[in-house]
Every structure is written in structure tokens, then in C-alpha cells.
Amino acid sequence: MLNKYARAFFTRVLTPFAAFLIRRGVSPDTVTLIGTAGVVAGALVFYPMGEFFWGTIVITLFVFSDLVDGNMARQLGRSSRWGAFLDSTLDRVADGAVFGGFALWYAGGGDDIVLCAVSIFCLASGQVVSYTKARGESIGLPVAVNGLIERAERLVISLVAAGLAGLHAFGVPGIQYLLPVALWIVAVGSLITLIQRVVTVRRESAEAEAAEAVKTAEGQEAAGGQEARGSGAAK
């Protein structure tokens, strides 16, 4: 839902900014690299110190680069395999930094080994969820399922919760518990999404192999028929 509606909305909003960067001679790859660097810095500098509000503000400013670089590429008519590869690869780096920052906080000042483990699980499961789709598509399967929680949902849930939890430092009582709740939601949702994709790939793989077997059998039958007709003509 977020990919369908929110991405379309922000793409329209950010189109003028993308056009401005193009006029300034900035390349889409540069935007991708700067955006990822900003997200990583915001997550690994602020989050381990428990500065969730300001860390989220910094990350949010840079996370929209994921929409800006693609918008620029479309305006330039220069969408490429390299650009898609770089964007996807650095998305994984940014995601890892966000959940890594949470893990570092709970391993240190946050002093909660369970939430540290949950943060690490969110980090790992997010990478695997992305890998299952990429790997399935690389072997020729459509992987026709989105799943409960994809990258956009993981980021929105985690960043909104972190930003609000950071308001505890400004005297808002009880709001710090939003982040632990969000991490558990992302962890469970990512696990469900992973299962959905694995089940889908298994089903699509079985269907593809069955279709290939039928095609092979039909080909052998046709070849046998031609051979029989050839033998009859020879007699």
C-alpha cells in the first residue's frame, strides 16, 4: 500500500527538486550515494546515543533520495541496470545501518539484550526478505507476492516509532515504549513476509517444473510420431 500510494505522492512532490538537481549537473548516482551516507550517519551516530528524535530527523531528510534519484533518471531517460543495482545495494546498506543503530543502543545505553536481539533479527530478516525476491527472479520465477511488511513498511514503522520515542527526552511520558513495540511488529511482520515469499517461490518453482515436464513430454511424443511416420514412409 505504501509503495502504491505514498511513493506516487512523494514522487510528484519531489519532481521539481529532481529537475533542479539535474539543471545543476548533479547525477542520480551522486544523489544515491549522498542519501545513503546521510542515512548511515544519522543512524549510526545518533541512535547508539539514544538520540532517536534527531537521528530520525536526519535520516528522514536523506531517505527521500531513494525517490529523487529514480525521478532524476526517468527525467534524463537514463535508467540503467547499473543505477538499479547501485540503488538496491545501497538500500540494503541503509536498512542495515538503521537497525544496527537500534541494536547498538540496546546493547549499550538501552541495556536490553532482548531488544538488541530483536533489532538484529529485523536487520537480518529484512536482508533475507529482499534476497528471496531477487533470487527467485534470477532463476526465472515471477515471485508474485509482496508480503505483509516490505522495505517501505519496515522503514516507516521503525522511523516513525523512533522519532516519537525520541520525544521522551523532551518530557513526553511513556512514549519511549513505542520503539520496542514497533521493533516487535517489524520482526513478526518480516518473518511472515519471508514465509510468504518462500512458499510462493516453492509453488511457482513446482508449477514451472511441471510445465517444463509437460512440454518435454509433448516434444518427445511429437518426435516419436515423426519418427514413426518416417519409418512408415521408408517401408
- Annotated binding-site ranges for a CDP-1,2-diacyl-sn-glycerol: 29-32, 70, 74, 80
| Measured distance CA(21)–CA(63) in Å, rounded | 16
| Measured distance CA(6)–CA(16) in Å, rounded | 17
User: Which 8-state DSSP code applies to residue 169?
Assistant: G
Q: What is the number of alpha carbons within 13 Å of residue 44 lying toward its C-beta? A: 12
The reply to whether 111 belongs to the active site is no
Q: Which residue has the cell 539543471?
A: 23
Q: Which residue has the cell 520503539?
A: 179
> How many angstroms separate the Cα of 215 from the Cα of each of 208, 210, 219, 226, 227?
10, 9, 6, 17, 18
| Measured distance CA(151)–CA(129) in Å, rounded | 9
| Measured distance CA(168)–CA(116) in Å, rounded | 20
Residues placed in the known binding site: 29-32, 66, 69-70, 74, 80, 87, 91
Torsion of CA 47, 160, 126, 145, to 10 degrees: -170
Residues placed in the known binding site for Mg(2+): 66, 69, 87, 91
Q: Which residue has the cell 518462500?
A: 198
Catalytic residue from among 91, 95, 111, 112: 91
| Measured distance CA(46)–CA(49) in Å, rounded | 5
Residues annotated as catalytic are: 91
